[in-house]
Structure 1
Amino acid sequence: QVVNKAAYMVVGIDLEGQKDVLGIWIGENESAKFWLTVLNELKRRGVEDILITCVDNLKGFSEAIAACYPKSDIQKCVVHQIRNSLKYVSYKDYKAVTAALKPIYKASTEEAALEALDKFEEAWGSKYPLVVRSWRGNWDELATFFRYAPEMRRLMYTTNLIEGYHRQLRKVTKGKSIFPTDESLTKMLYLATMEVTKRWTMRVQNWGQILSQLLIYFPERIEQYIL
């Protein structure tokens, strides 16, 4: 019997501006219960606080974060939101719809973004109401990055950081789609991860400026660790 499972990874950036893989989990389905198990494990292993959590649109993840790290700001990945939106769009409208969505997430303020969303709804709402409903339904967690400066926004509004890591893992797993046990898959992913993270020697770009801003946003949560 073949059981379909997925591998999930958490990548973090610490207060030194260094990124690292915090864990790899194998699961059959996405649920708040599964994510709560993941987050509780991170907490037990010493992740005391998460300032901002950037997530794909995974079912139950936001609820689990709110339960385990209630102070964390949640940012849903805009790129994943666009991909999910295009599922409802006719292929001939792909380019036009993608172009019409761009002013929303490229806006300088949340107010301007909402105006762009209104314009999108005027142009495409009658043809693709599910797209509009999805953006409005997820808006609170899609718009989080508008609170922050441009340097931080680039880190937040997509999960590019982990997407690049995933591409490296797929290079070693693409030739083997079936694994006899969860442990065998985890071992392969772990060994590949060790090779990938050897190259993660540089701090995140503009980290000094980003940390200065984080100190203003979250002074009481950061100062105890760096001052």
Structure 2
Amino acid sequence: MPDAVESVWPKTVVEICVVRLLRHLFCCAARRDKIAELLRPLCTAPAEEAALERFAEFAGVCGRKYPVVVRLWENAWEEFSPSFASGTGIRRIVCTTDAIESVNARIRRAVKARGYFPNETAALKCVHMAITSLDPRAGARPDGPCAGTPP
């Protein structure tokens, strides 16, 4: 995927979603080992050099028991390290695609619940209602993007 994006937009910096990386890691490790807590200093490090030090510590502690996890982070490092160019506050906001996935899941759920749409307008209304239901104030804004249009 990164190669495809960079072939179209050469100046693109591709970053991996840290939450997805951690979720993938949980498939490989036992929950009782609290690997997420061991990785927290790595993810919250102020700079890449500090993160590399934290990763070396993590690899020393968990490398024998979970070599797959260490390899996973080594393979993902190239896509993880660009995040250190941003400050820690920005990284906290940008580190995940969960907000986008939440909207997509809400739309998928609404469409799946209806099953069949007689025409395109009905499908668009269903998607509109699913999106506006994310914000309880959406219907109360007279100047909103859908002002004057029925849901």
The interval holding the TM-score normalised by the smaller chain is 0.7 to 0.9
Structure 2 portions without partners, runs of 5+ = 138-151
Give unpaired runs (5+ residues) of structure 1.
Answer: 1-60, 202-227
TM-score where L is the length of structure 2: 0.72
Q: Give TM-score scaled by structure 1 length.
A: 0.50
CA-based RMSD: 2.7
In the alignment, which of 11, 15, 18 is matched to residue 78 of structure 1?
18
After superposition, what is the alpha-carbon deviation per residue over 1:56-109, rounded to whole angstroms, capped at 9, x for unaligned? xxxxx111111111101111100000011111112432xx21100111111111
Q: 2:128 aligns with which of 194, 207, 223?
A: 194
Return closer, same or farther for 1:143/1:195 CA change in 2, 3 Å cut-off.
farther
State the Cα deviation string for residues 156-183 of structure 1 (Å, max 9, x = none).
221133123134225425647xx79xxx
Amino acid across the alignment from 2:53: E
Pair 127,174 (structure 1): closer, same or farther in 2 beyond 3 Å: farther
The 2-side partners of 1:152 and 1:196 are apart by 29
Q: Does the aligned pair in 2 maintain the 1:75–1:156 contact within 8 Å? A: no
1:147 aligned partner: 85
Q: Which has the higher helix share?
A: 2
1:58-97 alignment, distance < 5 Å: 61-93=1-33, 96-97=34-35
Write the letter of the residue equivalent to 1:77. Answer: C
Match of 1:122 in 2: 60
SS in structure 2 of the partner of residue 102 of structure 1: helix
Q: Would you tell me which structure has more strand in proportion to its own residues?
A: 1
2:47 equivalent in structure 1: 109
Query: How many residues were matched structurally?
Result: 131
